Amino acid sequence: MNAIKTARKSIEAEPWSGPSRTLARLVLALESEGSFDVADLDTLPPDSFALALEIVQEWRRNRRYAGKAKLFDLSLQVSMLPI
């Protein structure tokens, strides 16, 4: 399974968790070409950290447009959840 699809499923499963919110912020920053505090990656558990790096690699390859759109939409929804 590719990282973008894995991230989408992970965020859908636990949208309130810290790692999901961090991954969602990363996706939003990548899509909008905005800023993202790289220090936030250090707060992730090892599996989520590895996933974040894979997301960045896939984003750079600029593939899987449909998967990116679904993940971006979900990340936007998670970012609007109250804390």
Report d(CA 75, CA 61) in Å as an integer.
20
Model pLDDT for residues 33-82, shown as the tens digit of each residue? 899 999 999 999 999 999 999 999 988 876 556 567 788 888 999 999 88
Relative orientation angle of helices 18-32 and 3-13, to the nearest 10 degrees = 130
Rounded Cα distance between 12 and 9, Å, is 5
Do residues 8 and 70 lie in contact, with contact meaning Cβ atoms separated by under 8 Å? yes
How far apart, in whole angstroms, are the C-alpha atoms of residue 47 and residue 83?
A: 23
pLDDT for 66: 58
Dump pLDDT digits (tens) for 14-42.
Answer: 999 999 999 999 999 998 889 999 999 99
Q: Which sequence spans correspond to the domains of the chain?
A: 3-63
The C-alpha atoms of residue 83 and residue 66 are separated, in whole angstroms, by: 29
pLDDT of residue 62: 65
